[in-house]
Amino acid sequence: MDRDGARPWDGLIPPEEIEVYRRAGYQKRYGLGRKPALLVVDVEYNFTGLPGEPLLESIARYRNSCGPMAWQAIPSIARLLRIARDRHVPIAFTHGVSRPDGVRSPRNGTDIVDELAPRAGELVLAKEGASAFFGTSLVRHLVEWGVDTIIHTGCVTSGCVRASVVDAAAYGFKNAIVEECVFDRARVPHLANLFDMDAKYGDVVSLQEIETYLSEIEGVSPRKGQRSVEVGT
């Protein structure tokens, strides 16, 4: 939500601890640039399970599933994808590397969910580490595209999203973490990590805020090249 209004972690982080962060110089706006890319991290069946299943049933099949929290976020990610495509914003997806003991039925665990299926010209990277940057060519593509800002979506908030945000900040990119478009398997680590990323590495923003931001971007270059699939090492 707007920084002057309610924040997602309100009620979780005590006011006196928030004041410590504020006096230390955190909890400020980092700001966004003018050349964004959209990053969709690991929204694959291993982390979503199947739609409509309770969480404990879902993790019985896909042990890393976030269940209902994933399926609550997916329509928001799909909405943001449509806007990014309309604005010719570069888009990159990541997913895990398929392993011999991985789940393959009823859906292959490392497949990106159908609702967010990548299109031709959108970068798709297979990765083995937590960060979307580790062992992949992501940063090279972002530099080629002239990107200065990464819009982060996907999962999990406390793991691969956070690792990607930290690495993006280290590379000098500005970060937007879209509140409705990231998810985890449990609420407390999700909210705590939103708070910490917002304090140190970027701006946690609402979907409405990022839609307004994208509507005001001028001169976004069309995506170049064809869809690419790579394996991180």
**Separation between Cα atoms, residue 225 and residue 222, nearest integer Å:** 10
Rounded to 5°, angle at Cα 84 from 26 and 208: 50
The pair of three-digit structure tokens given for residue 210, joined into one six-digit string: 């990022």
Could you write out the DSSP letters of every residue in the chain? --TTS--TTTTTS-HHHHHHHHHTT-S------SSEEEEEE--BHHHH-STT--HHHHHHHSTT--THHHHHHHHHHHHHHHHHHHTT--EEEEEEPP-TTS--SSS-TTSBPGGG---TTSEEEEESSSSSSTTSSHHHHHHHHT--EEEEEEE-IIIIIHHHHHHHHHTT-EEEEEEEEEE-SSHHHHHHHHHHHHHHT-EEE-HHHHHHHHHH---PPPP-S---EEE--
Residue 93 structure tokens:
């997806």
Residues catalogued as catalytic: 160
